[in-house]
Amino acid sequence: MDVIALSWRDILLAAVPLAALAAVFAWRGCGLSRTLLIGAVRTFVQLALVGVVLKGVFQNAHPLWTFCFSMVMLGAGTWEVARRQHRRFSSGWTVGLAVLGLFTAGFTVTVFAVAALVGVRPWWSPQYAIPLLGMILGNTMTGIALGMDTLTQNAWKQRAVIENRLALGQTAADAVSELRRESVRTAMTPIINSLAVCGVVSLPGMMTGQILSGSDPLAAVRYQMMIMYLIAAGAGFGSLLTVQLCARRLFDSRERLRLDRLSA
C-alpha cells in the first residue's frame, strides 16, 4: 500500500488547533502561550533540519556520520537534563553525571538492540541505529532528569532530617536511602505508565508509523514490543546509575552532607 504523503500546507493546517490552544491560554491567563508557541516553532525547525541531515546520512552511510550524529544527540540530551534541574552540582558535575548516565545506558542498550536483536549488518547502519538511539536516549534523558531533580530537591528540603540521621550514627548511604528510592520511582513512573497502557489506551509512535507506511500490523507490534522493553531498560539503568552517583556527590569522604555543592 502506498504511503499518503503530507504537504507543507498540511503541516501548517495541523498547527491551526495548536495556535487556537495558545490563544485560549492567553485569554485565560495561563501563562503558557509563549512557551507553547516557542516549542511548536522549535519542533518545526529542528525536525526539518533533522530530516535534511538524515537524508544525507542515509544516502552516504558511514560509521563516522552515525557517530557524529549520535554525539549531537548525546549533547542535546545532556543540555536538556542540565537545564531541567532546579539545583545543579557545581564545577560541571551535573553535566558530567548526565553524560555518563545517558552514554552508559542509552548507547549500551542501543548497541545491544541493533547487534543482537535486529541483527542488521553493519550494526552501525544509520537507518536503524539512529532512530533506535533517539527513542532510547530520549526516554533515558527524561528518567535521568526526573531522578536527579527529585534527589537534589528533596535533599535540600530534608537537610535537617539527613543531618539528624548522620548524627545518630547512620551512614551517608542509609541517610539518603529513602530519597534514592523515591527519586528512582519518580524517574520510572512515566515509562511504567506507558508500559501499562501500551496498545490499550495508546498506540505508540513507532508502531503507528509502521502501520501508516503499510507494514504488517503484527510485524509493527513486535518492533514496538522490542523498543518499549529497551526504553524501559535504558531509562531504568540510566536513572539508577545517575541517582546513585548524585547521592554520593552529596557527601564528602568523611560522610558529611555537602549541600554547598548545589547551586540554585
pLDDT at 154: 94
pLDDT at 245: 94
Continuous H helices in the chain: 8-14, 16-28, 33-59, 63-83, 93-101, 108-112, 126-157, 159-167, 172-175, 177-197, 205-212, 217-249
pLDDT at 159: 92
- What Å distances lie between residue 24 and 34, 43, 222, CA to CA? 12, 21, 40
pLDDT at 179: 94
pLDDT at 222: 87
Are 201 and 210 in contact, with CB atoms under 8 Å apart? Answer: no
C-alpha closest to that of 248 among 103, 92, 89, 86: 89
Q: Crossing angle, helix 93-101 and helix 63-83, to 10 degrees? A: 130
Q: If you write DSSP's letter for every residue of 12-67 in order, what string do you get?
A: HHHTHHHHHHHHHHHHHT-S-HHHHHHHHHHHHHHHHHHHHHHHHHHHT--HHHHH
C-alpha closest to that of 193 among 146, 158, 154: 146
Q: Is the pTM of this model over 0.75?
A: yes
- What is the rounded distance in angstroms from the CA atom of residue 97 to the CA atom of residue 149? 12
- What is the rounded distance in angstroms from the CA atom of residue 194 to the CA atom of residue 97? 26
217 cis-preceded (ω within 30 degrees of 0): no
- What is the rounded distance in angstroms from the CA atom of residue 189 to the CA atom of residue 183? 10
pLDDT at 29: 87
Cell numbers standing for residue 204: 505508540
Split the chain (264 residues) into runs of 10 and give each run's mean pLDDT.
77 92 91 91 91 88 90 92 90 91 91 86 87 90 95 94 93 94 94 85 73 79 88 93 94 91 84
pLDDT at 244: 95
- What Å distances lie between residue 107 and 1, 9, 80, CA to CA? 34, 37, 17
